[in-house]
């Protein structure tokens, strides 16, 4: 578990992920959550690198989630995140991403973090930049990619 001043961030259990998949209305998110669970089941020894990480306020209110998209042998991983609309604009995404990056870099094998955000999502791009990510000039499926080096 990662703790910050206002948040608790932790990898979901199989049961929590199954419940999220079952209740998700957005087909794109449902697909992503299913892929995360499948990654966890294929790589149980690397659960944290494939799991949905729950983001909660210290009072237990669920406000969003994040994930790492596996850990490659070259020390690369990708981070993704989302905050529920009613909790946006309060600095939670920056706080969560910053804490998750610190956690990732505590693992000696992690050398590079990347993230991708929609080209129109200026708020998400600001989150990444506040956390030290820099545009790397690559356009991904969802938009521009950003890199953070150890």
Q: What confidence tens digit (pLDDT) does each residue in 39-95 have? A: 999 999 999 999 999 999 999 999 999 999 999 889 999 999 999 999 999 999 999
pLDDT of residue 142: 87
Rounded Cα–Cα distance for residues 73 and 98 (Å) = 23
Strands (E), the chain: 2-3, 7-11, 52-57, 62-68, 76-83, 112-116, 134-139, 144-149
Under a CB-based contact definition with an 8 Å cutoff, are residues 108 and 102 in contact? no
Tokens (6 digits) for 32: 């992503």
Phi, psi of 71 (to 5 degrees): -125, 115
Under a CB-based contact definition with an 8 Å cutoff, are residues 9 and 100 in contact? yes
Q: What confidence tens digit (pLDDT) does each residue in 7-36 have? A: 999 999 999 999 999 999 999 889 999 999
Query: Which domains does the chain carry?
Result: 2-149 (3.40.630.30)
Rounded Cα–Cα distance for residues 138 and 140 (Å) = 6
Tokens 């949905």 belong to residue: 52
pLDDT of residue 73: 85
């Amino acid at each position: 578990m990662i703790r910050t001043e206002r948040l608790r961030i932790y990898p979901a259990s199989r049961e929590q992920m199954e419940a999220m998949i079952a209740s998700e209305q957005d087909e794109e998110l449902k697909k992503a959550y299913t892929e995360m669970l499948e990654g966890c089941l294929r790589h149980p020894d690397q659960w944290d690198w494939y799991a949905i990480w729950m983001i909660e306020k210290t009072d237990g209110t669920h406000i969003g989630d994040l994930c790492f998209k596996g850990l490659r042998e070259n020390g690369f991983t990708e981070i993704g995140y989302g905050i529920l609309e009613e909790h946006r604009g309060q600095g939670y995404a920056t706080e969560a991403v910053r804490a998750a990056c610190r956690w990732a870099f505590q693992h000696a094998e992690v050398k590079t973090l990347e993230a991708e955000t929609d080209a129109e999502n200026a708020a998400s791009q600001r989150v990444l930049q506040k956390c030290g990510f820099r545009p790397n000039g690559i356009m991904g499926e969802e938009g521009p990619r950003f890199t953070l080096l150890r």
